[in-house]
């Protein structure tokens, strides 16, 4: 394929994607001239370029569509549902030919006569003397189409929706039969679009300003390399150059990641068309809402979640949202709502597919799983409601009574979980019978570089992805017998009054039982949350967190089932990346013990009574509390990583400038010590609205639930304090941490008031 043809395919695909978005909007706003102009330009551009390249079949089809769009743009026709459907058929036909062009270099031997004739029928302006003519033409067209193409099964195709009323100052096109048109994919919307060509998938549009920044950073990287080589030859101190290299590398990595990031609107934009097709097929009335389309995700991950999202949307349409008459009988709005929402949470992007449909009946799930032989009746009786809901992710599971073009074959939700977990994500499910269902996909921002905690077990280093890490607990040898309980050979840890199942990594790797492993050493419990399971992974050592570069595993290591990849650490050692989900399944960890036995209430009233949770820290010999929901991570870093703007300490945090509050003088105290060669300091990284701030502390003491206090003699709650373990404790005011840039001198706001 020559460069000109490749560029044409990429540009044409982008134009057709834009056309599809505009067409679904046009059905809601048929008089919108701007939408009509955008659609017209997309087809006109394809027609003009195809003539130059010699693609006659593509030119002829685009020319016919352009004629119809010209009548719509000039106000001679109104965009009625049959016309919208016809234009969608045109779009599919153009995509199919473009796909053939990319695969073979030619347009193929296909015939577009039926589709072209159909588009011509839609151009006819009905007059009093010609009212019968379109009907005859439509009947003949339907006969010809049925002879050439297989018809769609009658049981799976819904009749077209009723035509909206059109003003009498405006003529309308006849309602041509479109169900059996040659390019129609209404009955097979689950198949990927033909236009998802390799040319468009392998191309990114990058802002020139971002490219300029990347080029400048590469220049800085080269200069720093030259300085390091020269300093090494002269045996000079490399500390300052190492810090500069660290900053430039972090900035360059951040810029490259931004170049790969694409908005989720690139995926969301496909769903209005899918919803439209399924609504007609399934006799549903559905309103689609989309939020957070500007949220960005790595392009490779966007491609990977297309299928899972499509399955999730189809499942909501078929099993979730009820037919209008059923909803009306239940006192609901006849029109259902399906909502797609995307937002960023820490190092993950959360994508939710929620509907206000019938929800999932746990009893029906249990019955179907037993009928299909996916689980025994005895085992099903032992499962909690939340565990029963997870059965819908098993291969072969379906609640459909009959096999249709939409569902019933037992594939769908298992594909969702498999594909999402394959890219390091998680799938969560919430459902309330009669109220609706929410499927939540938790996707890492990128696969190439991920933050990880380096842990040690039996002398080996392992990387533990921080996305699954909730908190760390230290159990010294003298507290082993008191803190770790054993129940029928299974270790448990009582974390803030709740039992936490434990998995000793050493025990699992060596496949040995062992009598109370780790009794005579320090143990560190990494509290993990995966797939609705919460457990503690016990290791015998910790190292500093690192941003690791993920490398694929060999087939031998992959078959073990405990690792997702490998990496090379900063020390040069190799480390395997642990898979928390597989570890939980291998160890037989069930759903949260508290939820299973009803020890934790999930309603808002109980949560209010328990109060918020806080991270308890110590600075300047005083205790203070930080809202746990605001804590992103706790960093133990070398003092040399802390730099200054004027007198204000800052930290290069994941390529961004992080202001560090040091009202307790911890950084100054560490800098004045000379008895240790490389001082380590603890920084709590917190989220304050849309910005991040750091707090320098002496130590992190605990996590505890706090209670609100009332001012004496009033009904007002006391601000800035909470009751932790019967002690009044100051709550850190993160908004009081001064933003950058700042004037010389240390800020005394916020944290300063708490520790003085």
pLDDT tens per residue, range 167-186: 337 333 333 333 333 333 33
Distance in angstroms (rounded) separating the CA atoms of residues 74 and 748? 67
* HSE-up (13 A, CA, CB side) for residue 456: 13
pLDDT tens readout for residues 524-569: 999 988 766 789 999 988 887 877 877 777 778 877 878 888 888 8
Over the stretch 362-391, which tens digit does the pLDDT of each residue have? 888 888 888 888 788 888 787 777 778 888
Which pLDDT score, from 0 to 100, does residue 190 have? 33
For 671-726, write each residue's pLDDT tens digit: 877 766 667 888 888 888 778 888 888 888 877 777 776 667 676 666 677 777 67
243 vs 102, more confident: 102
Closest CA to 534 of 494, 500, 582: 500
pLDDT band at 458 (very low <50, low <70, confident <90, very high): confident
| CA gap 97, 183 in Å, rounded | 10
pLDDT digits (tens, 9 = 90+) for 623-659: 888 888 788 778 878 888 888 887 788 887 766 778 8
Give CA 427 to chain center in angstroms: 10
Helical spans, DSSP H, in 561-665: 580-587, 593-596, 604-610
Residue 354 clears pLDDT 90, i.e. is over it: yes
Q: Over the chain, what is the mean pLDDT?
A: 75
- Contact between residue 437 and residue 360 where contact means Cβ atoms under 8 Å apart: yes
pLDDT exceeds 60 at position 599: no
| Cα separations in angstroms, 334 against 286, 328, 345, 730 | 9, 5, 34, 52
Rounded average pLDDT over 102-127: 80
Query: Would the pLDDT of 289 be above 90?
Result: yes
How confident is the model over 200-228, as pLDDT tens digits?
A: 566 677 777 777 777 778 878 877 777 77
DSSP string for 366-432: HHHHHHTTSS-HHHHHHS-HHHHHGGGGSTT----SS--SSS-SS-SHHHHHHHHHHTT-EEEEEEE
Q: What pLDDT was estimated at residue 475? A: 87
């Amino acid at each position: 394929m020559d460069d000109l043809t490749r560029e044409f395919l990429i540009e044409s695909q982008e134009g057709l994607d834009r056309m599809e978005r505009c067409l679904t909007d046009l059905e809601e706003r048929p008089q919108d001239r701007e939408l009509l102009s955008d659609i017209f330009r997309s087809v006109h551009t394809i027609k003009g370029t195809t003539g130059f390249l010699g693609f006659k079949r593509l030119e002829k089809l685009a020319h016919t569509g352009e004629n119809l769009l010209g009548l719509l743009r000039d106000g001679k026709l109104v965009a009625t549902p049959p016309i919208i459907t016809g234009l969608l058929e045109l779009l599919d036909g153009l995509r199919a030919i473009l796909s053939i062009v990319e695969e073979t270099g030619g347009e193929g031997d296909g015939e577009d006569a039926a589709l072209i004739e159909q588009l011509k029928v839609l151009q006819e302006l009905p007059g009093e003397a010609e009212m019968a003519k379109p009907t005859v033409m439509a009947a003949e067209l339907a006969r010809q189409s049925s002879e050439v193409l297989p018809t769609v099964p009658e049981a799976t195709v819904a009749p077209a929706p009723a035509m909206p009323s059109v003003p009498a100052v405006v003529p309308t096109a006849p309602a041509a039969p479109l169900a059996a048109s040659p390019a129609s994919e209404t009955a097979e919307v689950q198949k990927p679009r033909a236009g998802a060509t390799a040319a468009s998938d392998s191309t990114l549009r990058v802002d020139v300003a971002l490219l300029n920044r990347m080029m400048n950073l590469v220049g800085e990287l080269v200069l720093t390399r030259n300085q390091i080589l020269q300093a090494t030859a002269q045996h000079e101190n490399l500390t300052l150059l190492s810090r500069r290299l660290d900053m430039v590398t972090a900035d360059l990595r951040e810029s490259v990641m931004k170049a790969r990031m694409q908005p989720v609107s690139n995926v969301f934009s496909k769903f209005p068309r899918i919803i439209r097709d399924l609504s007609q097929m399934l006799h549903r009335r559905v309103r689609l809402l989309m939020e957070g389309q500007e949220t960005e995700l790595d392009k490779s991950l966007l491609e990977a979640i297309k299928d899972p999202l499509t399955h999730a949307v189809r499942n909501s349409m078929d099993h979730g949202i009820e037919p209008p008459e059923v909803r009306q009988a239940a006192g609901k709005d006849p029109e259902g709502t399906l909502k797609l929402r995307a937002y960023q949470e820490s190092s993950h992007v959360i994508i939710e597919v929620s509907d206000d449909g019938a929800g999932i009946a746990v009893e029906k799930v249990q019955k179907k799983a037993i009928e299909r032989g996916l689980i025994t009746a005895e085992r099903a009786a032992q499962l909690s409601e939340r565990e029963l809901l997870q059965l819908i992710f098993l291969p072969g599971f379906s609640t459909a009574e009959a096999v249709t073009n939409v569902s019933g074959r037992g594939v769908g939700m298992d594909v969702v979980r498999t594909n999402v977990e394959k890219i390091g994500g998680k799938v969560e499910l919430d459902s309330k019978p009669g109220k609706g269902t929410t499927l939540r996909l938790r996707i890492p921002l990128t696969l190439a570089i991920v933050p990880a905690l380096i842990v040690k077990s039996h002398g080996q280093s392992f990387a533990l992805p921080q996305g699954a890490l909730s908190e760390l607990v230290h159990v010294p040898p003298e507290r082993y017998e008191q803190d770790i309980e054993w129940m029928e050979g299974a270790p448990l840890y009582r974390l803030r009054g709740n039992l936490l199942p434990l998995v000793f990594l050493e025990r699992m790797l060596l496949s040995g039982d062992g009598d109370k492993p780790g009794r005579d050493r320090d143990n560190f419990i990494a509290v993990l949350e995966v797939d609705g399971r919460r457990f503690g992974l016990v290791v015998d050592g910790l190292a500093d967190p690192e941003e690791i570069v993920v490398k694929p595993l060999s087939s031998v290591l992959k078959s073990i089932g405990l690792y997702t990849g490998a990496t090379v650490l900063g020390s040069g050692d190799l480390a395997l990346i642990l898979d928390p989900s597989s570890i939980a399944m291998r160890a037989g960890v069930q759903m949260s013990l508290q939820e299973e036995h009803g020890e934790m209430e999930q309603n808002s009233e109980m949560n209010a009574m328990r109060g918020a949770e806080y991270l308890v820290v110590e600075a300047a010999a005083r205790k203070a509390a930080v809202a746990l929901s605001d804590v992103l991570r706790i960093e133990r870093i070398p003092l040399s990583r802390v730099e200054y703007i004027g007198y204000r300490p800052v930290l290069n945090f994941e390529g961004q400038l992080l202001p560090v509050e040091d009202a307790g003088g911890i950084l100054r105290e560490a800098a004045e010590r000379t008895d240790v060669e490389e001082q380590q300091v603890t920084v709590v990284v917190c989220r304050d609205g849309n910005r991040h701030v750091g707090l320098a502390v002496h130590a992190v003491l605990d996590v505890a639930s706090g209670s609100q206090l009332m001012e004496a003699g009033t009904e007002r709650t006391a601000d800035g304090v909470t009751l932790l373990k019967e002690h009044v404790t100051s709550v850190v005011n993160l908004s009081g941490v001064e933003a950058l840039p700042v004037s010389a001198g240390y800020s005394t706001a916020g944290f300063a008031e708490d520790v003085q």
